[in-house]
Amino acid sequence: MEFDKEQLLNLIKESLHFKTIDVSEIPDIELYMDQVTTFMEDKLQEFKRTEEDKILTKTMINNYTKNKILPAPVKKKYSKKHMMLLILTYHLKQVLSIGDIHSLLSPISERKDKEKNMSIPIEELYKNFVEIQAIEYNTFSEEILKKFDELEEQIHPEEKNSDALIFFSIIFFLITQASIQKKLAENLIDTFLGN
């Protein structure tokens, strides 16, 4: 196996070509469900691993409404607020359970949780998410390439299978980071939003 920094950099570029969805790109008019799923498919297609993957289905939207992550549509139409919540839900569900997403977003979608001081206007929350997303996309490649250099120093190139060891080490590093970050997010939700 041949694996080097240039290959990693190419994969990072391929993985991070995502485009954030600015608030101004979300329609100001209310949309029917088919229009919602078409919009999401178009705007989030870069996140698909395979062509067969579905970004958002009617069943998913109905389940989000049933689980009170999303307010019910008004006359079968979805507002800009619905769209922002759906985009946030899409990204959150990559890491969190539906229960955790409910704990996190229901105070915002229902606007009931005044005692926990979590009533933030959805547009403000969404803009904050997009800013964080853009910053992290920009800094991720620097951080992972720095980690590659550290691993390369630990695993000397003359060692047998050094390319394979670096390859697996990068994967193990990413999985460990993702696990730690997921656990911390869950602990924050449990501590501050738990019942």
What is the predicted pLDDT for the residue at 162? 82
pLDDT band (50, 70, 90) for residue 18: confident
Scan for tokens 């803009």, then name that residue: 127
Q: Mean of the pLDDT values across residues 156-183?
A: 89
pLDDT band (50, 70, 90) for residue 133: very high
Q: Mean of the pLDDT values across residues 138-165?
A: 85
What is the predicted pLDDT for the residue at 4? 85
Find the Cα–Cα–Cα–Cα dihedral 142, 53, 187, 137, rounded to 10°: 20
How many beta carbons lie within 10 A of that of residue 21, not counting itself?
20
What is the predicted pLDDT for the residue at 113? 45
pLDDT band (50, 70, 90) for residue 90: very high
**Cα gap 100→190, rounded to integer Å:** 8
Report which DSSP code applies to 94: T
For 98, the enclosing helix (H) or strand (E) is: helix 98-110
Give the chain's mean pLDDT. 89
